[in-house]
């Protein structure tokens, strides 16, 4: 094909699809390339798409009866876990019942495919209905560079030419490395393996067990015993007739502690509380994918160069600051900002880094980089042994003594707490963590 595109997007995940939607609406001529059989075919997440940005791509998506999302979140739970017990912070509110929802659970194989249909509709309505494409089953082997500026992509023997490339290839960012924005070898230090099972329940059992009404849903994160002493945490999200149950585990930590992710997942599932929670369910899929920790030290050295932008997890845009694991919403927003930058570049007829650096600027000014920058201390703290081992043990130990009624004189809570602290940590450590926590959150 001799024709030149305004933009080629590599990867039809959330970042790539968000970028494509904006490009289509602004009558740009683009090619969105996906290596899977369809958009979403190779994508895995926990996963909740947090925030309200989805409505920017698909306005009033909640009105569609069979939209690609699973459930909206009106119930949040953070659970500390030791060998026998769980102690949860639980928040449920009808405040979250009305759209725009502030988080929806998704299963990517279904969600991304649905979103891609919406993008195709936008293409069909654009000036380039016949010249913009979503192309699946194509693996991009190389971003073609000329004088250090991107000018196309190569797949097998075929080349496609373009003024700009948006790399939205996901966390295993081989093309980001090839264009020189990321090191060839990324060490395991700030990378985790996410592993999960999708477990199906009878609809009525699911609704009753998780207090669901209509399309309401719950998100539950776990720290402590869930990961068997390895850096990371567990999660449980409710889908329409399944749940997503899984965990993330630090790769370097697994290497050092000689742990297997699939064993850790079984360890988590055997916990008495989880065992009761998933009783009667049937596993319908097992999946795994690498995810970054949100530690800035793993981010590519820059997110743009002449003719190229990195969006989503290709740029390691992710954070877990204790409140929520945010990656897909960062992907969505960075895709939007990336596309807006490309549109501006076309207007100015300049796709060099002189224009494209505005992507970084806009991203820095957005909540994405603001949160990544502001919550680095929280990321470090959450990935420390105190947080995934000592604190959950302490909290559960306190819970056990506090809720024990044994017809003996009851001790004051303060004394019970003091005993739990001494057993699993120390007041000095707690003050340090409290100080760090207050500062970082």
Partner 1 sequence: MKLLTLSERLGLVSYRNQAKSDIKPHIRVDTDICNSVCPHKCTTYVCPANCYTMDEDGKVHFQVEDCIECGTCMYACDQGAVDWNYPDPEIGRGVTWNFG
Residue 351 token pair: 């796709």
Report the site for partner 1 in 101-130 (rule: CB under 8 A).
107-112
Query: Nearest distance from residue 274's CB to partner 1, in Å?
Result: 9
Q: Mask: binding to partner 1, 286-305, rule CB under 8 A, as x and -? A: xxxxx---------------
Member of 254, 309, 328, 391 binding partner 1 (CB under 8 A): 254
Query: Nearest distance from residue 156's CB to partner 1, in Å?
Result: 8
E-state strands within 52-178? 71-81, 86-92, 103-105, 133-135, 142-146, 149-155, 158-162, 165-167
Q: Which among 18-26, 58-66, 96-104, 265-273 is the span making contact with partner 1, rule CB under 8 A?
A: 265-273
DSSP string, 357-400: HHHHHHHHHSHHHHHHHHTHHHHHHHTSHIIIIIHHHHHHHHHH
Report the site for partner 1 in 173-202 (rule: CB under 8 A).
174, 185-188, 191, 193, 195, 197-199
Query: Nearest distance from residue 226's CB to partner 1, in Å?
Result: 15
Q: Which among 255-263, 347-355, 392-400, 429-437 is the span making contact with partner 1, rule CB under 8 A?
A: 255-263
Q: Across-strand partners of 150?
A: 145
How far is Cα 32 from Cα 19, in angstroms, rounded to an integer? 9
Query: Nearest distance from residue 289's CB to partner 1, in Å?
Result: 5
Q: Which among 87-95, 248-256, 302-310, 419-427 is the span making contact with partner 1, rule CB under 8 A?
A: 248-256
How far is Cα 187 from Cα 173, in angstroms, rounded to an integer? 13
Q: Are strands 325-326 and 319-320 parallel, antiparallel or unpaired?
A: antiparallel
> Between residues 18 and 328, which has the closer beta carbon with respect to partner 1?
328
Question: Total residues contacting partner 1 (rule CB under 8 A)?
Answer: 57
How far is Cα 355 from Cα 342, in angstroms, rounded to an integer? 9
Report the site for partner 1 in 26-65 (rule: CB under 8 A).
35-37, 40-45
For 278, the 3-state DSSP assignment is coil
Query: Nearest distance from residue 338's CB to partner 1, in Å?
Result: 21
Sign of the C-alpha dihedral computed for residues 282, 285, 286 and 288 taken in this order: negative
**154 is an interface residue for partner 1 by CB under 8 A:** no
Q: Which among 89-97, 146-154, 211-219, 269-277 is the span making contact with partner 1, rule CB under 8 A?
A: 269-277
Containing 287, the helix (H) or strand (E) segment is: strand 282-292
How far is Cα 117 from Cα 173, in angstroms, rounded to an integer? 25
How far is Cα 417 from Cα 413, in angstroms, rounded to an integer? 6
Query: Nearest distance from residue 254's CB to partner 1, in Å?
Result: 5
What is the binding site for partner 1 (CB under 8 A)? 35-37, 40-45, 107-112, 137-139, 171-172, 174, 185-188, 191, 193, 195, 197-199, 242, 251-252, 254-255, 258-262, 266, 269-270, 275, 278-281, 283-290
């Amino acid at each position: 094909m001799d024709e030149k595109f305004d933009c080629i997007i590599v990867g039809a995940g959330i970042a790539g699809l968000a970028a494509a939607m904006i490009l289509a609406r602004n009558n740009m001529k683009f090619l969105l390339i996906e290596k899977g059989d369809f958009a979403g075919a190779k994508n895995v997440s926990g996963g909740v798409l947090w925030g309200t940005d989805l409505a920017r791509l698909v306005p009033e998506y909640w009105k569609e009866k069979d939209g690609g999302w699973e459930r909206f979140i009106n119930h949040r739970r953070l659970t500390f876990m030791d060998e026998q017990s769980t102690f949860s912070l639980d928040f449920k509110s009808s405040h979250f019942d009305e759209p725009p929802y502030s988080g929806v659970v998704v299963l990517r194989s279904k969600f991304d495919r649905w979103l891609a249909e919406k993008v195709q509709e936008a293409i069909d309505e654009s000036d380039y209905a016949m010249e913009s494409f979503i192309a699946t089953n194509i693996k991009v082997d190389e971003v073609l560079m000329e004088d250090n500026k991107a000018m196309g992509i190569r797949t097998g023997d075929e080349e496609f030419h373009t003024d700009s490339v948006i790399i939205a290839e996901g966390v295993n960012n081989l093309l980001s490395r090839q264009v020189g924005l990321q090191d060839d070898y990324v060490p395991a230090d700030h990378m985790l393996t996410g592993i999960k099972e999708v477990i199906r329940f009878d609809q009525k059992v699911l609704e009753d067990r998780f207090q669901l009404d209509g399309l309401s849903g719950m998100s539950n994160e776990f720290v402590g015993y869930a990961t068997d002493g390895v850096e990371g945490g567990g999660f449980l999200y409710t889908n329409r007739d399944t749940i997503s149950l899984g965990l993330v585990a630090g790769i370097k930590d697994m290497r050092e502690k000689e742990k297997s992710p699939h064993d850790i997942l079984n360890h988590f599932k055997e916990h008495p509380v989880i065992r009761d929670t998933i009783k009667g369910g049937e596993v319908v899929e097992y999946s795994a994918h690498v995810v970054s920790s949100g530690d800035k030290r793993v981010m590519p050295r820059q997110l743009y160069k002449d003719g190229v932008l990195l969006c989503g997890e290709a740029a390691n845009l992710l954070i877990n600051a204790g409140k929520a694991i945010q990656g897909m919403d960062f992907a969505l927003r960075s895709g939007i900002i990336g596309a807006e930058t490309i549109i501006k570049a076309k207007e100015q007829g300049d796709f060099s880094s002189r224009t494209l650096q505005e992507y970084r600027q806009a991203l820095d000014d957005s909540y994405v980089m603001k949160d990544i920058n502001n919550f680095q201390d929280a990321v470090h703290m959450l990935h420390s042994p105190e947080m995934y081992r000592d604190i959950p043990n302490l909290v559960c130990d306190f819970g056990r003594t506090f809720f024990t009624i044994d017809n003996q004189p009851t001790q004051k809570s303060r004394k019970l707490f003091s005993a739990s602290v001494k057993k699993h940590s120390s007041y000095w450590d707690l003050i340090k963590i409290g100080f760090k926590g207050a500062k970082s959150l």
